[in-house]
Amino acid sequence: MKNLLKGFIIGIGKIIPGVSGAMLAITMGVYDKSIYYINNFKSNKKESVRYLLPLAIGIILSILIFSRIITYTLENYYLPTKLFFIGLIIGGIPSIINKTDKKSHSITVVSFLLFFSLSMLSINNTYLVKDNIQDIIIFFISGIIEAIGTVVPGVSSTALLMIIEFEKIFNDNKIDAVIHFAGYKAVGESVKKPLMYYRNNIDSTLTLCEVMNEHNVKNIVFSSSATVYGTPKSLPIKENFDVTHATNPYGETKIMIERILNDLYVSDNTWNIALLRYFNPIGAHKSGLIGENPNDIPNNLMPYIVKVANKELKELSVFGNDYDTIDGTGVRDYIHVVDLAKGHIKALNWVLNNNGIDAFNLGTGNGYSVLELVEAFKKFNNIDVPYKIVGRRDGDIASCYADASKAKDILDWSCTYNIEDMVKDSYNYVKNSK
């Protein structure tokens, strides 16, 4: 029960900075006193009733009023601050009139109301400028859901929150198809944090498919990955290669999601599903307005190279130079993000006009080593990129590049950008975003 209360407080703390500690102290104090009177009810019925009855009435009124506020907000997208005040005051009246330890109890309640009111004023100034107040409510509800997760094993707070958000999107829009990009995607990080990857990537897909099914939206393009092929038996990689074992948890999540989508189609062949197994996207839009520039230390090669070139990081770590490749460093099929985006549009047209499920490689068909990519970046951007050779990274393979002829034949898609475009556009975005 304490975990449940604590989770509820965390939810309030998420939307009201500073209130969590005060509420925790107050709530835990009331909780401990309530347990005392419950345990001693038989020996001290009169005093126990005088304490517990008003408290119970206050809790019930507060729950009813808060429920009404949440319902009103979800229906009208507006949170009337005064309604919060009224709810707090009404919910506090039964406790204020309590005769037991009246002085200290009243001080506690009044202090809480004052603190909460000031916090609400802060919300009014800070959050109500948002177009959609529902974000605040979702944060509030998330605390309650997290609490449920602490006391009910197996309950996923992430999945429950996604249901709320997905339902809102599908209710408010006419959706014909979904492109599912979302997921954690760093190979090295997935080896260190496998549970985080399995929970996030698979839970989100299951929740999305359930909501899509409920709303009869049965067209989906899934962004899979070349990592599903594991260590390929030969090169270039074709779609009919075995997809049974990846070399890292990130790749395993992609394999599992592909299986889920295959099973979904087998159970209901009105679904139309494209599995895009793309290789290594890099680059940015030529305008320099859209690109990738992580705030933290990047997990992927090109953003790291750019930050080293930009002197935000000292040097690039090249993981291994003893692979069976042209220079000992890993070889990958780098694809420009604009080509990749066009591939998704082609796949979207395919699922909207065809029935079935199929997988497509999206790549250039050409492999470049890490050092070749670094040298291309230095050459075409006329800038130095210091690097050092370190040990191999867990989960990596030697070489990986695509046979993308199936995508050309069926989707009418092929790459138009080369390695020079990729390295120039990557650096151009970061220079323009300074």
* pLDDT tens sequence across 38-92: 777 777 777 777 767 776 776 676 666 556 555 555 454 444 444 444 444 444 4
pLDDT beyond 70 at 416: yes
Q: How far apart are CA 399 and CA 401, in angstroms?
A: 7
Structure token digits, residue 275: 């599995």
Measuring CA to CA, how many Å separate 64 from each of 60, 61, 204, 252, 410?
6, 5, 31, 45, 57
Residue 203: what pLDDT? Answer: 87
- Per the CB < 8 A criterion, the answer to whether 181 and 223 are in contact is yes
Lowest mean pLDDT among 8-12, 269-273, 372-376: 8-12
Q: Give how far the C-alpha of residue 264 lies from the chain's centroid of Cα atoms, to the nearest Å.
A: 23
Q: How confident is the model over 181-208, as pLDDT tens digits?
A: 988 988 889 999 999 999 889 988 998 9
Cis ω for the linkage preceding 232 (within 30 of 0): no
Q: How confident is the model over 150-171, as pLDDT tens digits?
A: 444 444 445 555 677 788 888 8
Q: How far apart are CA 304 and CA 300, in angstroms?
A: 6
pLDDT beyond 80 at 409: yes
Residue 234: what pLDDT? Answer: 94
Residue 201: what pLDDT? Answer: 92
Residue 395: what pLDDT? Answer: 86
Active site residues: 250
Q: How far apart are CA 288 and CA 85, in angstroms?
A: 48
pTM score of the predicted model: 0.66
At 221, phi and psi to the nearest 5? Answer: -110, 120
Q: Which residue has the higher pLDDT, 107 or 395?
A: 395
Residue 118: what pLDDT? Answer: 42
Residue 47: what pLDDT? Answer: 77
Q: Which residue has the higher pLDDT, 223 or 102?
A: 223
pLDDT beyond 50 at 10: no
